[in-house]
């Protein structure tokens, strides 16, 4: 038996021994994930008679006119012993944390992964490296892997999209994705993630980010819902002066979404911000967790958590859980959660200027969404966010959700 096969069997054995995510688990008890068999594909075997899914896994694309020659990309086969060793090199073992069963299941199923190293473009060391990463599912149950290393001092701008390809079979997908983002000293990454699964898909994305001294990581997520949708960030601020800002916009519709951001503040003079805006309606069930732990000795660390839920129609369940664990005296920390309707004064203001109710609501909701994303990624006209917004996806998606909320309201 080769080492790849042995590794896979070991992961399966571990899962068999330790079991799946506990129902009492603090992180998952509000929205328990589907059982292990679902993620390993054993529950779906032979369920799909349609051709294999048309997606091609990870694909890398140039972004706009930005040429980037400082990128090294390796697609590696996790079932080949040598390539698996290279793919998983330097990654931590799944361990035994609350989300570890997902990581073990990932080890057991992962077939293909992408390792990306971002260095400066020769001759353009001061300019950011721009790239687009798309992922489309290749199998009904899959466990994609991404390892992204940004070299010290390099600035990178990345848009990562997850959408079902047109013409795909419509069978639901169970996707347990893990991405390891590692920023060298002084590296900067602006990371815009768009995750729009099919309505019947189950998605669990785990982003593990580690930041060396002076590194800066800004991650903005825009997520629509599937039958189960987990987005979990584990961010470790390991070096002095590191800064992380995560902002999640969840367009929950009438389905389920679970946003989790776990931040470990491990060094002095670090700054971490976690924000979420959840828009939900009908019988949606949405959870936003922000948990930050400030370790002893993290002098002058700054932490901010801001979670907001807006019910658009019906009786959605919105659970917002900001949580701070502070083990050092000299820090600044603030957190808050707001659950409520749209700002009435702004709505009336827009209506007094001639906008009908639906148009005013759409404008204000999109404004709230943009404001959240701009706080994270900036609002520069030539910036990543502005370029993406110009495509109109956000406006269209919010419009669709609002239309659905009107239908919910009118039964």
CB-nearer residue toward other proteins: 135 or 361: 361
The one segment of 23-31, 299-307, 316-324, 352-360 that binds other proteins by CB under 8 A: 352-360
The one segment of 43-51, 119-127, 165-173, 343-351 that binds other proteins by CB under 8 A: 343-351
Binding test (CB under 8 A) with other proteins, winner from 168, 351, 387, 404: 351
User: Which of positions 142-181 make contact with other proteins (CB under 8 A)?
Assistant: none
Q: Where are the beta strands (DSSP E) in 197-300?
A: 202-211, 216-224, 228-237, 243-253, 256-265, 271-282, 285-294
Q: What is the DSSP pairing of strand 129-136 with strand 155-163?
A: parallel
- 3-class secondary structure for 32-82? CCCCHHHHHCCCCCCCCCCCCCCCCEEEEECECCECCCCEEEEEEECCCHH
CB-nearer residue toward other proteins: 68 or 218: 218
Q: Are the CB atoms for 300 and 326 separated by under 8 Å?
A: no
Question: Site mask, other proteins, residues 300-339, x = CB under 8 A?
Answer: ----------------------------------------
CB-nearer residue toward other proteins: 8 or 402: 402
Q: Which of 26, 85, 22 is closest to 258 using CA atoms?
A: 26
Q: What is the DSSP pairing of strand 57-61 with strand 129-136?
A: antiparallel
Binding test (CB under 8 A) with other proteins, winner from 48, 81, 295, 355: 355
- The SS3 assignment for 15 reads helix
Binding test (CB under 8 A) with other proteins, winner from 169, 333, 346, 406: 346
Helix axes 357-377, 393-409, angle to 10 degrees: 140
The one segment of 16-24, 68-76, 180-188, 367-375 that binds other proteins by CB under 8 A: 367-375
The span from the CA of 316 to the CA of 281, in Å, is 5
Residue 343 in the binding site for other proteins (CB under 8 A): yes
Residues touching other proteins, count (CB under 8 A): 26
Binding test (CB under 8 A) with other proteins, winner from 77, 168, 374, 407: 374
Residue 275: CB minimum distance to other proteins, A: 13
The span from the CA of 146 to the CA of 58, in Å, is 8
Q: Are the CB atoms for 288 and 276 separated by under 8 Å?
A: yes
CB-nearer residue toward other proteins: 46 or 345: 345
Q: Which of 149, 64, 92 is closest to 115 using CA atoms?
A: 149
Residue 78: CB minimum distance to other proteins, A: 42
Which spans of this chain sit near other proteins (rule: CB under 8 A)? Answer: 343-346, 348-357, 359-360, 363-364, 366-372, 374
């Amino acid at each position: 038996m080769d080492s790849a096969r042995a590794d896979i069997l070991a992961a399966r054995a571990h899962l068999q021994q330790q079991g799946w995510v506990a129902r009492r688990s603090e992180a998952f008890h509000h929205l328990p994930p589907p059982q292990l068999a679902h993620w390993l594909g054993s529950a779906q075997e032979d369920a799909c008679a349609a051709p294999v899914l048309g997606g091609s896994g990870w694909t890398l694309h140039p972004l706009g006119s930005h040429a980037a020659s400082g990128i090294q990309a390796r697609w590696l086969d996790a079932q080949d012993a040598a390539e698996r060793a290279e793919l998983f090199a330097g990654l931590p073992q799944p361990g035994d944390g609350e989300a570890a069963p997902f990581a073990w299941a990932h080890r057991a199923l992962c077939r293909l992964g992408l390792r990306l190293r971002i260095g400066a473009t020769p001759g353009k060391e001061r300019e950011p490296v721009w790239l687009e990463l798309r992922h489309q599912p290749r199998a009904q149950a899959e466990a994609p892997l991404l390892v992204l290393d940004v070299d010290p001092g390099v600035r990178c701008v990345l848009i990562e999209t997850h959408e079902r390809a047109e013409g795909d079979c419509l069978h639901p997908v169970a996707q347990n994705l893990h991405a390891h983002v590692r920023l060298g000293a002084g590296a900067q990454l602006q990371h815009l993630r768009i995750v729009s699964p099919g309505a019947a898909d189950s998605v669990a994305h785990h982003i593990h980010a580690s930041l060396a001294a002076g590194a800066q990581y800004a991650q903005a997520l825009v997520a629509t819902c599937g039958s189960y949708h987990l987005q979990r960030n584990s961010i470790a601020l390991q070096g002095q002066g590191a800064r992380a800002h995560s902002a999640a916009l969840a367009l929950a519709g009438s389905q389920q979404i679970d946003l989790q951001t776990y931040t470990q503040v491990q060094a002095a003079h670090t700054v971490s911000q976690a924000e979420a805006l959840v828009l939900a309606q009908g019988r949606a069930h949405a959870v936003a967790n922000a948990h930050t732990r400030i370790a002893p000795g993290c002098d002058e660390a700054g932490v901010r958590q801001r979670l907001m839920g807006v019910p658009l129609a019906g009786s959605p369940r919105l659970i917002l859980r900001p949580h701070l664990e502070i083990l050092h005296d000299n820090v600044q920390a603030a957190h808050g959660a707001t659950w409520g309707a749209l700002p009435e004064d702004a709505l009336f203001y827009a209506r007094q200027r001639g906008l009908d109710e639906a148009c005013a609501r759409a404008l204000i909701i999109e404004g709230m969404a943009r404001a959240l994303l701009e706080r994270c990624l900036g609002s520069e006209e030539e910036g990543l966010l502005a370029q993406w917004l110009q495509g109109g996806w956000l406006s269209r998606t919010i419009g669709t959700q609002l239309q659905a909320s009107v239908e919910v309201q009118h039964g």
